[in-house]
Amino acid sequence: MLTLLSVPSSPKVILAVHESFYSGELVPARLTSLRRDEERSFRASPFTRPYYICAALTTDLLAPARGLMALSTWPSERRMVGPLSPRVHLLTAVTRLGEHLTALDEVRPAARKMLWRLSVSIPGVAGFPDDIDPVAVVDAAQQELAVHRDADLREREVAAERAARQLGEPAAQLFGIRLGVAGKRGYEAG
């Protein structure tokens, strides 16, 4: 699913896309612990597999973005999440799903509904799930994406460069750093 969406995504979105576009069961409980399991696997034997499900990292703290999964094969800047990233990621995912729908010979009603649900907030998208035009959705998403994409990319590239300098080990670059309390200072009444 992450390959189809091509952006860091939440387990909820991954499950919804899977259910809408594909057959077969994807167990929600498995997705919940997947990122943690992947990190343990990577730390035990780094780079023994072609890819890992890893964390999207926040541009400010280089910490795991809560609830967002990414692929280890993506460039670092693609795994970063800044303030504009949620909108850019939505528009990118809608574009990818719309293009995927136009390439299918037969479109499942659930897939149309999924595209509609994700695209209703995009200016210029009209219609209902049964009659939504994937080509028009892609065009509308691309128009708005042009407004936000460059600023978001610049911020993510700067963060990726900083991550390369500050997060030395590969595991930290893929899974982020855990934030903790630096020191406890009690309040003293003067």
Which residues have C-beta within 8 Å of that of residue 73, sequence separation ≥ 6?
50, 51
Q: What are phi and psi of 66, to 5 degrees?
A: -55, 120
Residue 183 placed within a domain: no
Residue 181 placed within a domain: no
C-alpha span between 106 and 108 (Å, rounded): 7
Q: What are phi and psi of 113, to 5 degrees?
A: -65, -40
Residue 130 placed within a domain: yes
Q: What's the one-letter identity of residue 122?
A: I
Residue 42 placed within a domain: yes
Span 52-61, pLDDT tens digits: 999 999 999 9
pLDDT at 179: 66
Q: Classify residue 132 by burial, with Cβ atoms within 10 Å: 0-12, 13-18, 19+.
A: buried
Report how many domains make up the chain: 1
Span 152-185, pLDDT tens digits: 999 999 999 999 999 989 999 999 887 654 444 4
Residue 37 placed within a domain: yes
What is the mean pLDDT of the segment spanning 50-77? 95
C-alpha span between 60 and 84 (Å, rounded): 13
Residue 20 placed within a domain: yes
pLDDT at 186: 45
pLDDT at 168: 82
Neighbours of 22 (CB within 10 A): 14
pLDDT at 47: 94
Span 102-142, pLDDT tens digits: 999 888 999 999 999 999 999 999 889 988 999 999 999 99
Structural domain for 144, as ranges: 2-174
Residue 80 placed within a domain: yes
* Mean model confidence pLDDT for the chain: 90
Residue 101 placed within a domain: yes
